[in-house]
Amino acid sequence: MSDASKDEELAQIVLSVTKEKQPETIRQLVTLVKDRCQITEKEIVESILRLQSEGKIKLSKRLPQTPLKLNAYLQTGQAFWFWATLTTTFVTAATVFTIPEDLYPWVYIRYVMGIIFVLWLPGYSFTKALFPVQLPMKLSTENLDLIERVALSLGMSLALVPLVGLLLNYTPWGIRLASIVLSLLALTVVFATVAVVREHEARIEKSM
């Protein structure tokens, strides 16, 4: 048997095993193929990689295991965005209340944090609460998904912040710096908490 015929036969076996058994890892696929034919693991792996380059099979990146308990999930890297959001929110609030407007050049830190606090965090946490794992639009790459989430976050912030101001106008506190900062802080924390809970549930459901 020629090398070309041997490679073609091995490729057909790999495709057949992939379709029938649906292995979760490359190691499982190699073991299943090796059980069907007396071929070295190196040849099987080379055939798998060749089929992937030809687009006949797709090797997906395995997602990290999601802890079943929320408090354990909060300690993983998957929840990093949640802690980053809360940290930025509270640091911004502290910066606004501790750095006077005439304290240069430290006031520029207050300006930068304030822009992030108003134009990014409320919309990001709200968008994350609505779509905790993936946006409803089907996009071709993760980069496009990131760009879409950034655009939605900015848009939602521009919609939420004026609404908060409008509601504060009809309260005894009125539209003041303290009331606006505390309202946006509470809003961001609530949305982020809802988002991380929904994300945890979605990831557990996806892994089952």
pLDDT tens digit sequence for 20-74 = 877 767 777 888 888 888 788 888 888 888 888 887 877 665 545 678 889 999 9
The secondary structure of residue 115, as a DSSP letter, is: H
Percent of the chain with pLDDT over 90: 42
Mean pLDDT of 113-138: 85
Instruction: Determine contact, residues 204/68, Cβ cutoff 8 Å.
Output: yes
For residue 74, how many other CB atoms are within 10 A of its CB?
15
Helices (H), the chain: 3-21, 26-36, 41-53, 70-73, 80-98, 107-119, 121-130, 142-169, 177-207
Report, as an integer, the average pLDDT of 5-32: 79
Position 143 scores a pLDDT of: 46
Cα distances (Å, whole numbers) of residue 96 to 74, 84, 122, 185 = 28, 18, 17, 12
Q: DSSP character for 38?
A: -
pLDDT at 141 over 50: no
Spatial separation of the C-alpha atoms in residues 112 and 6, rounded to whole Å: 63
pLDDT in tens, 185-203: 999 999 999 999 999 998 8
pLDDT for res 144? 45
Residues with Cβ < 8 Å from 81, sequence gap 6 or more?
128
Per-residue model confidence as pLDDT tens digits over 104-121 = 888 999 999 999 999 999
Task: Please give the structure tokens belonging to residue 144.
Answer: 């496009």
Question: For residue 27, how many other CB atoms are within 10 A of its CB?
Answer: 11
Beta-carbon contacts of 206 under 8 Å, excluding residues fewer than 6 positions away, are: 63, 133
pLDDT digits (tens, 9 = 90+) for 151-169: 889 999 999 999 999 999 9
| Count of CB atoms situated within 10 Å of the CB of 170 | 7
Residue 207 — pLDDT band, cuts 50, 70, 90? Answer: low
Nearest to 160 by CA among 199, 115, 124: 124
